[in-house]
Amino acid sequence: MASWFSRRDFLPAGLKAEQVELVGNTIRVHSRSVKTAAACPRCGMISRRVHSRYRRRPADLPAHGRAVELVLLVRRFRCRAVHCPARIFAERFPPAVTRPYARRTSRLQGLVRHLGLAVGGRPAQALAGRLLLPVSKDTFLRSIRNTTEAATNELRVIGIDEWAWRKGQRYGTLICDMERRRVIELLPDREPATVEAWLRARPGIKVVARDRNGGYSGAVSRALPKAVQVADRWHLLENASTAFLAAVQGNMPAIRKAIGAKSLDPKLLTAVERLQYEGIQRRQQTNRMVRQMADDGVPTRRIVRQTDLSRKLVRQILRGEREDVFRIRESSLTPWLPQLEREWAGGSRNGAELWRRLRAGGFQGSLRVVGEWATRQRRAE
């Protein structure tokens, strides 16, 4: 059996529809509150003295393939309390209708939040365009964060990392609330005891995201033994990229020989790469000339005089050390890497001490090169 509905049945509870009009592709529903009085938000005094009126236009759920807009008639009341600082206040609608200053009704805001949780910001924006919801990707993400902040005031998921008061000299500890995405504490140092004391005062923390600093790990284990420790994404990617670059640099001679000059297509090169390739071709022509002279029995000294090349360069060509296309500058530390690795495995972890031991064996490089190598090794572990 069919039943009849009034205009009020299509609106959130507490509103009364006065007029429905179609403007372009938008349905506008003019409505107002059914209450005759309102309570002051400052003192709670009930007032019936209307001062003035204005209109709000929050968006509502679409209907029949058209966008819906509520035109709410909002009344301003005079507060009857003598000592209330709010002489004039606007009436508040029920939370099921809309929030103060909101641009959407509560039921539409709930749909926005669910879409943001389900598919994320940019996909939700594309889907919302088909559903006639004028909501941006940033609004979807912001609605999720605002709901999370309102749901809990306790710290549950935090991130810990060091930060520099003065780079290279003094460091502290940075603690962030990962759910609200904001900094909540700056500790004066990065000592494990300081972090442990701070964590003991907050037993509600369930998850701690950190780098691979052993001091932070021990502090979390002692203060919050039941908390889950995870490696944050930035440090995982940083450590992975550092390990990849170290592996590539260590095997660069084999990689250069495997690639070879024949794998290059001059048509695909940029202007700068084409200049480099032309230089490679000139170098290969010089190499062929020197090798041909050596095959004909010309001594190295005469090759140097006739070609105007240095003796070192001629010897490199004859030994086959100038055939690679992809050349990188060899570090002064390369011949000393086996000794460094032995010293490191033996327990010597100080960059200055390693540098002094290499200097005693004839190393001519600087302390900075050895110190950077020690830092990369320390981070890799």
How far apart CA 204 and CA 183 sit, in angstroms, is 18
- pLDDT at 334 exceeding the cut of 60: yes
Residue 305's pLDDT is what?
A: 86
Q: What is the largest CA-CA distance in the chain?
A: 115
| pLDDT reported for residue 75 | 92
Average pLDDT score, the chain? 82
What is the tens place of the pLDDT at every residue in 226-260?
A: 899 988 788 788 888 888 888 877 776 677 666 65
Nearest to 260 by CA among 324, 343, 328: 324
- Higher-pLDDT residue of 344 and 324 is 344
- What are the beta bridge partners of residue 70? 29
Is the pLDDT higher at 149 or at 362?
362
pLDDT for residue 331: 65
DSSP SS3 for 1: coil
Q: Is the pLDDT of residue 261 over 50?
A: no
Q: Give mean pLDDT, residues 97-124.
A: 86
- The DSSP annotation for 171-213 comes to EEEEEEETTTTEEEEEES---HHHHHHHHHT-TT--EEEE-S-
> Is the model's pLDDT at 77 over the cut of 90?
yes
* Mean of pLDDT values over 335-358: 84
pLDDT at 162: 86
Specify the higher pLDDT residue, 32 or 349: 32
User: How far is Cα 55 from Cα 334, in angstroms, rounded to an integer?
Assistant: 75
CA distance 190 to 216: 8
Centroid of chain to Cα 74: 42
Lowest mean pLDDT among 74-78, 149-153, 180-184: 149-153
When mean pLDDT is compared over 130-134, 151-155, 218-222, the highest value belongs to 218-222
What count of other Cβ atoms lies within 10 Å of the Cβ of residue 330? 10
Bridge partners (DSSP) of residue 173 are 162, 187
Task: Give the model confidence (pLDDT) of 268-316 as tens digits.
Answer: 666 766 777 788 788 888 888 888 888 888 888 888 888 888 888 888 8
Residue 331, C-beta contacts closer than 8 angstroms, at least 6 positions apart? 369
Mean pLDDT score, 340-357: 84
Kindly indicate the confidence band of residue 369, based on its pLDDT and cuts at 50, 70 and 90: confident
pLDDT for the residue 76: 92
Residue 1 binned pLDDT confidence (cut-offs 50, 70, 90): very low
52: pLDDT confidence band, cut at 50, 70 and 90? very high
pLDDT recorded at residue 303: 87
Strand partners, 209: 159, 230
Task: Report helix, strand or coil for 99.
Answer: coil
Tokens for 153, please give them: 């005031």
Q: Per residue in 173-208, pLDDT tens?
A: 999 888 877 888 888 888 888 999 999 988 889 999
Q: What is the mean pLDDT of residues 34-45?
A: 88
- Higher-pLDDT residue of 345 and 212 is 345
Distance CA 243, CA 21 (A): 65
pLDDT > 50? residue 96: yes
Residue range 32-39: average pLDDT? 89
pLDDT at 107: 87
Least confident of 13-17, 297-301, 327-331, 343-347: 327-331
Task: Indicate the SS3 state at residue 228.
Answer: strand
Amino acid identity at 230: V
